[in-house]
């Protein structure tokens, strides 16, 4: 339903929700919330998290809110789990997999709220529980906040724009069906208001008599429900916002009293989502209650600048499982921003306009995710005690639109929820010709709603693009020269479209080339579908594309003269690569970070073993003094960014050392006090028995200064979170040159870092990652916390153990080597193995095997065989506008490197020169070479090898 495609990243950050009638001011961030400038501890429930159990563990979830899993029991005991409750206790599991439109039904029965008493922060608890590997997501329990107050002292002077919306024409056709119910999820209503009391959808099957007569699990829910306080009285408390919103959508109309509403005769169901203080403690439970109790339309006049998996899951449930349409406010920050829940998939997002001019209201947000606009400035509606007053906000525009949706549903009772929303969008008035709206083109939705149009226009068209999938048919890490394929299902929601219907993909970016831009959708009857899985849109990422570029796209669907545009962004040319070939799944980045490319556990796999993520963050770290340390680890509230990419990390194809070889280069030129080191880093992972529980990383450190670098240490620092991180201990094995962290839980896992090179001493520092530092450095104190001096201490001094008290605590661990003295232009090599194991013996065996393997790479038969073998490797393959050739020369010799086409014609001479023994890298500009198949021929020392390559631009 969105006019933009919303694609969640692997890990999501969230921010606080506020009423759409108010503003949220920026606040300090916590470490976990690095992506949001809005969240503080005030914005979520203390010592409470939301979890969703993975489907494969559903059999462990009991009806009485018990998760029957022994290792989880131990974790819950140690965190002081005081209350585990199903978040949606009355919701049932779906009895089939898909709805009638082919959309996958949602299971909310494995979503829980968990309260705990231990000392961990909510941020720490989220990461610790997620690392256990049995939850789809773990997130804070956000509490929406209200900042709205009436802003119109002349209450009775305001109108709600009935003339502008041509409501009378619409009402002449349809005045609303009393069986169409609009759910008002808000702070409650005034049950006795003269313009509201007759509009409530009373549940006559459960009168107020102290019994659950209708057997729905709610006693006496005769006139709605207070989900926030779990009782049957949805009367407003502390904040009258919900009273006003109720009247905007469903005040009794044509009764010679008070105000009118767009919903006219449609009923409303009051669902109070606030506690006694007015805090919205049960916002999304309120949405599910409304859907479960027959609401066709659900209004949400609240929202915020963050949204995540739980929130989207609820919207999916009410839309797909319950066939209800959610309408929500676009927000009042006067910003071009996504706002939630309005920007979630399937929700109708409503911006606000001035009633008389159709100009965007000064406070209203605008964005490609907005679906429609509606009057929202100085809206007169119901207030407590049979009074009326004016309020402004997208909080008002949203229920005005929700009421209009009720009229559409009443007129077209066969419509499903998505069709109602699309009908509303298809019948708006274009407001972009108004000069004052010129800055908001396509960001106020399809236009301002028009109830007259909605009732009189025919042959309306709407084709959605649902269930989108992006892939590169490889690792789905979209980098230079990859071809990204976009597939989905085109679904016709309204009148039939002709055989000429097409979809066209476009972009304004010069960093990508669209190879397949069009798809012939063809004729579709109402609710007809056509998936493009057999003919995907294809996007080639060009060499000019910056790393981590956010590239905008439009998808235009047209059946002339009708057309619609879908907007979406893709993050392309990412500068990291995932290694998943053995028992360890991790990520190597282009700038020395390991596990995650971005702060807050973003862009990466972490360090996964046995379905558990054992790592919070990790980075290679260099230091030559208390004032010169270069790393990509945290320094204060966020990640230090001291390294710059020289050659983005890439997979070496074919692999020359292991089952999965990676290579890249970076330097520390962007550090505040650069050391002047250029790092050539490599990574290897094996699949052979005994070698599947580690990944090796090697760093070749080159001094780029004109003077020597002395007292240099090179290490890997890791914040290991092994299972329950608060039960971790760190220790060392000096004979193995191994630092490791383990969980004290029963059957606790182990993880560690081993120094492989012997050119300088083994250094190990175990860090107590707690206030006070447990007698060592304190990484939690100071400004910034964990500063350069502390990092150099960790790199250059010894501390054998951490977490020594009781069952342990949160720990970090650093394994390094040094000191080195490097002359100008010279290099040293430092290598490490990152390992995991079931127990200490298992970890130690892998550490020993890693040493044998690495020694073989350096001096053994494996490397000697490679060194004595003439070879050429090409990457990427297929190539786009550039091709890299990895050449290995076994001995000093004259070498010739040429490219030939398939009929044997010479295309170019890449190199013809004396080459020293060893590896060499050549870059080939292929921009002027036609697409096709070619052969790279390498001749040296009387031998010849050939490598096949494909050019596909």
Catalytically annotated residues: 186, 241, 395
Q: Which alpha helices (DSSP H) does 131-240 contain, by range? A: 167-173
CA distance 121 to 126: 9
Report how far Cα 628 is from the mean position of its chain's Cα atoms. 34
Parallel, antiparallel or unpaired: strands 181-186 and 297-300 = parallel
* Residue matched to tokens 């309204």: 494
The H-or-E segment that residue 455 falls in is: helix 451-456
* Residues listed for the chain: 953
228: number of Cβ within 10 Å: 25
* Residue matched to tokens 């920007």: 343
CA distance 296 to 286: 14
Q: Taking a C-beta distance cutoff of 8 angstroms, is the pair 49, 639 a contact?
A: no
CA nearest neighbour of 742 among 832, 802, 782? 802
SS3 track for 478-504: CCCCCEEEEEEEEEECCCCECCCCEEE
DSSP codes joined into one string, 573-633: S-SEEEE-SSS-EEEEETTSEES-SBTTTBSS--EEETTEE-EEEEEEEEEEETTEEEESS
Bridge-partner residues for 663, per DSSP? 650, 682
* Residue matched to tokens 């890298």: 921
Phi and psi of 549, rounded to 5°?
-75, 135
Coil, helix or strand for 744? coil
- Going through 197-353 in order, the beta strands assigned E by DSSP cover 225-226, 267-272, 297-300, 302-304, 325-329, 348-353
Bridge-partner residues for 302, per DSSP? 19
Coil, helix or strand for 767? strand
CA distance 487 to 468: 6
Joined together, the tokens standing for residue 488 give: 């989905």
The H-or-E segment that residue 858 falls in is: helix 840-858
Find the angle CA(25)-CA(29)-CA(30) to the nearest 5 degrees.
150
Q: Which residues, other chains included, contact 727 with Cβ-Cβ below 8 Å and sequence gap of 6+?
A: 78, 743, 744, 745, 748, 807, 808, 809
926: number of Cβ within 10 Å: 23
Write the CA distances from 596 to 156, 178, 661, 768, 795, integer angstroms. Answer: 57, 54, 18, 22, 21
Q: Taking a C-beta distance cutoff of 8 angstroms, is the pair 241, 270 a contact?
A: no
866: number of Cβ within 10 Å: 15
Joined together, the tokens standing for residue 623 give: 């230091």
Write the CA distances from 952 to 483, 535, 539, 881, integer angstroms. Answer: 9, 18, 12, 8
Q: Taking a C-beta distance cutoff of 8 angstroms, is the pair 338, 305 a contact?
A: yes
CA distance 830 to 712: 12
Q: Taking a C-beta distance cutoff of 8 angstroms, is the pair 532, 558 a contact?
A: no
CA distance 344 to 5: 9
CA distance 503 to 494: 17
CA distance 155 to 942: 95
Coil, helix or strand for 395? helix
CA distance 551 to 743: 42
């Amino acid at each position: 339903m969105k006019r933009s495609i919303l694609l969640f990243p692997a890990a999501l950050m969230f921010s606080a929700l506020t009423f759409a009638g108010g503003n949220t001011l920026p606040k300090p961030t916590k470490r976990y919330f690095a992506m949001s400038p809005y969240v503080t501890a005030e914005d979520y429930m203390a010592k409470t998290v939301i979890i969703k159990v993975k489907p494969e563990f559903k059999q462990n979830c009991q009806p009485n809110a018990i998760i029957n899993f022994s290792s989880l029991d131990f974790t819950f005991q140690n965190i002081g789990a005081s209350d585990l409750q199903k978040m949606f206790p009355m919701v049932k599991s779906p009895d089939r997999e898909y709805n009638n439109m082919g959309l996958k039904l949602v299971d909310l029965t494995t979503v829980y709220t968990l309260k705990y008493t231990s000392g961990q922060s909510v941020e720490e608890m989220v990461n610790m529980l997620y690392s256990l590997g049995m939850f789809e997501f773990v997130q804070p329990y956000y509490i929406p906040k209200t900042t709205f107050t009436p802003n119109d002292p002349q209450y009775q002077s305001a109108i709600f724009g009935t003339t502008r919306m041509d409501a009378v024409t619409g009402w002449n056709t349809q005045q609303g069906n009393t069986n169409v119910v609009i759910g008002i999820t808000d702070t409650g209503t005034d049950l006795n208001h003269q313009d509201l009391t007759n509009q409530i959808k009373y549940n006559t099957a459960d009168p107020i008599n102290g019994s659950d007569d209708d057997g729905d699990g709610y006693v006496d829910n005769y006139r709605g429900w207070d989900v926030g306080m779990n009782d049957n009285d949805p009367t407003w408390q502390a904040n009258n916002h919900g009273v006003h919103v109720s009247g905007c959508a469903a005040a009794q109309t044509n009764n010679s009293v008070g105000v009118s509403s767009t919903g006219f005769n449609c009923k409303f169901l009051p669902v109070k989502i606030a506690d006694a203080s007015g805090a919205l403690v049960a916002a999304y439970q309120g949405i599910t209650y409304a859907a479960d109790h027959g609401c066709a339309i659900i209004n949400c006049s609240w929202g915020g600048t963050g949204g995540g998996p739980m929130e989207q899951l609820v919207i999916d449930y009410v839309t797909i499982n319950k066939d209800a349409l959610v309408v929500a406010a676009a927000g009042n920050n006067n910003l071009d921003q996504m706002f939630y829940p309005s920007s979630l998939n399937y929700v109708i997002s409503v911006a606000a306009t001035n009633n008389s001019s159709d100009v965007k209201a000064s406070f209203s947000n605008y964005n490609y995710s907005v679906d429609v606009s509606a009057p929202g400035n100085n809206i007169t509606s119901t207030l407590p005690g049979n009074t009326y007053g004016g309020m402004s906000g997208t909080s008002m525009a949203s229920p005005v639109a929700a009421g209009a949706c009720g009229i559409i549903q009443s007129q077209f009772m066969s419509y499903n929820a998505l069709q109602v929303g699309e009908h509303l969008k298809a019948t708006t008035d274009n407001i972009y010709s108004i000069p004052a709206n010129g800055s908001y083109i396509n960001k106020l939705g399809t236009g301002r709603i028009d109830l007259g149009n909605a009732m009189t226009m025919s042959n309306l068209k709407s084709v959605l693009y649902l269930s989108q999938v992006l892939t590169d048919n490889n690792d789905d890490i979209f980098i230079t020269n990859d071809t990204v394929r976009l597939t989905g299902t085109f679904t016709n929601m309204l009148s039939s479209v002709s055989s000429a219907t097409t979809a066209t993909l476009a972009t304004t970016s010069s960093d990508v080339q669209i190879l397949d831009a069009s798809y012939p959708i063809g004729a579709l009857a109402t609710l007809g579908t056509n998936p493009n899985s057999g003919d995907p849109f294809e996007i080639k990422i060009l060499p000019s594309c910056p790393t981590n570029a956010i590239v905008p796209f439009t998808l235009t669907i047209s059946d002339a003269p009708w057309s619609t545009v879908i907007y979406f962004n893709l993050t392309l040319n990412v500068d990291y690569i995932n290694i998943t070939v053995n028992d360890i799944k991790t990520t190597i980045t282009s700038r020395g970070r390991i596990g995650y490319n971005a702060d807050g556990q973003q862009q990466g796999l972490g360090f996964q073993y046995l379905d558990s993520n054992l790592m919070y963050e990790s980075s290679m770290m260099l230091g030559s003094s208390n004032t010169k340390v270069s790393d990509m680890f945290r320094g204060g509230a966020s990640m230090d960014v001291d390294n710059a990419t020289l050659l983005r990390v890439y997979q070496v194809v074919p692999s020359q050392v292991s089952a999965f070889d990676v290579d890249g280069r970076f330097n520390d030129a962007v550090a505040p006090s650069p050391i002047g080191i250029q790092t050539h880093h490599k990574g290897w992972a094996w699949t052979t028995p005994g070698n599947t529980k580690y990944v090796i990383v090697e760093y070749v450190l080159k001094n780029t200064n004109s003077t020597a670098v002395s007292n240099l240490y090179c290490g890997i620092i890791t914040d290991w979170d092994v299972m329950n991180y608060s039960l971790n201990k760190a220790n060392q094995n000096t004979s193995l040159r191994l630092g490791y962290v383990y969980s004290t839980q029963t059957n606790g896992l182990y993880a560690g870092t081993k120094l492989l090179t012997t050119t300088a001493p083994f250094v190990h520092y175990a860090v107590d990652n707690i206030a006070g530092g447990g007698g060592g450095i304190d990484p939690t104190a100071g400004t910034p916390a964990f500063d350069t001096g502390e990092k150099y201490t960790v790199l250059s001094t010894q501390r054998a153990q951490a977490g020594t008290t009781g069952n342990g605590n949160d720990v970090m661990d650093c394994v390094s080597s040094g000191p080195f003295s490097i002359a100008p232009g010279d290099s040293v090599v430092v290598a490490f193995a990152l390992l995991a194991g079931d127990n200490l013996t298992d970890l130690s065996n892998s550490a020993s095997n890693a040493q044998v393997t690495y020694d073989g790479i350096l001096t053994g038969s494996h490397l000697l065989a490679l060194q004595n073998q003439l070879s050429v490797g090409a990457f990427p393959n297929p190539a786009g506008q550039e091709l890299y050739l990895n050449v290995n020369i076994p001995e000093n010799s004259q070498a010739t490197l040429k490219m030939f086409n398939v009929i044997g014609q010479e295309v170019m001479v890449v190199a013809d020169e004396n080459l020293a023994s060893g590896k060499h890298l050549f870059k080939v500009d292929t921009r002027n070479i036609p697409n096709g198949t070619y052969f790279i021929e390498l001749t040296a020392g009387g031998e010849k090898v050939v490598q096949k390559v494909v050019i596909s631009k």
